[in-house]
Amino acid sequence: MRLHPNDDQAMFLSALDQMMQGKSAAWRTSPQWDRYEWSDAFDRELEESGFLDCAIEETLGPVAAAEMTFRLATLPIAVEAAASALLRPKFAADLPRPLAIIESDHAQAIRFLPVARSVLSLGGDSIMSALIEPHAVASVESLYAFPMGVLKKALDWRPLNADPEAVRAQWRVALAAELAGALKGALASVVSHVRERHQFGRPLGSFQAIQHRLAGAATKVEASYWLTLKAAQSGDSIDAALALGYAQDASTKVVYDLHQFMGAMGLTLEHPLHRWTYRARLLRSSLRGSINNLRTVAVERWRAA
C-alpha cells in the first residue's frame, strides 16, 4: 500500500494548514469559561470551501478526509468534521450539516447535537437519519469539551439506504482519526511547555526521564495516526476496528503521562490541554471502547483464518 500523499492531497492539506492558522481557528478561552469553544466561523469556512466533501473526490478520497479530521482535531477549538468528512459525502450527502451521531442510546447526551442540523443513528439493523427540528434539542453541561445535548422530543426518523456495517466501519475510521488528532494536539502542547518551563536551571524537557516518557507517548500517537490512514485507504472493517481499538487503548496511558508534566496547569481553563484530555476521554468510550473494538479484530481475523 502507498501512504505518501499524491500531489492533489499535498496541495489540499497545505491549504488546510493555512486555514488552520487563521484567527477563527486559534486558541482562546470561552467567554463564559465553558470547557469548549465552538467556532461557527471556522466550521462555515470549511463547509463553504468544500473541504468536507473531499472523501468523494477521486484524487483525494477517504485518506485525505481522515488526514483532515486528524489535523482539525489537533486544534483547541471544536469543529464537527469527523462525521461530515467521512460519513456524509458517501452515505448521507443530502443531509444538512453539522451532523451528530447517535451510536446506540437515544437518551444519552450526544456531542455536537446542540449545533447539528441533522443526525444519524447507527444502532440496530439499519442506519436511520433525521433532521433536527427547532427546539428538539436541549444543551447540557459536560466536561467533555464538545457541545453536548439531548433530544427533547421524538424526531422523524427515516431509514438510510446504506450498508450498516460499512457505515460503522467508516465511523470507526473517523473516530480513530479524531482521537489520534486530539492526542497529537495534547502532546504538542506539553512538549511546548517542557521546553519553556525550567527547573534546576534547565528546561524540563532536557531531563532524560521526561524525554523517555514523551517519546513513548509520541510513538503511540504516531502508531494511531498511521493505523488510521491505513484503515482509510484499505476500506477494510478489520483495519478500522484495529485503528480505533489501538488509539482508544493507547489514549489512557498517553493522557496520564502528559498530565504528569503539566501539573495542575493541565486541568485549568487557561490552558488548552484539558480540552484534548476530555475529548479523548469521551472518544475512547465510543463504540463500547477498546476492548470491544479489539475483540472485533480478533473475531474477524480468526474467522478469516
What pLDDT is recorded for position 163? 95
Count of beta carbons in the 10 Å neighbourhood of residue 155: 18
Distances (CA, A) of 85 to 41, 167, 281: 17, 13, 22
Low-confidence ranges of the chain (pLDDT < 50): none
The DSSP-derived string for 21-47 is TSGGGS----TT--S--B-HHHHHHHH
The grid coordinates of residue 177 equal: 482519526
Q: Are 180 and 245 within 8 A, CB to CB?
A: no
What pLDDT is recorded for position 158? 95
The residue type at 303: R
Distances (CA, A) of 291 to 24, 87, 221, 228: 37, 24, 19, 17
Q: Are 180 and 73 within 8 A, CB to CB?
A: yes
**218-229: b (≥16 Cβ within 10 Å) or e:** bebbeebbebbb
Count of beta carbons in the 10 Å neighbourhood of residue 176: 34
What pLDDT is recorded for position 2? 58
Which alpha helices (DSSP H) does the chain contain, by range? 7-20, 40-48, 61-73, 82-86, 88-91, 164-196, 208-234, 237-260, 273-283, 289-304
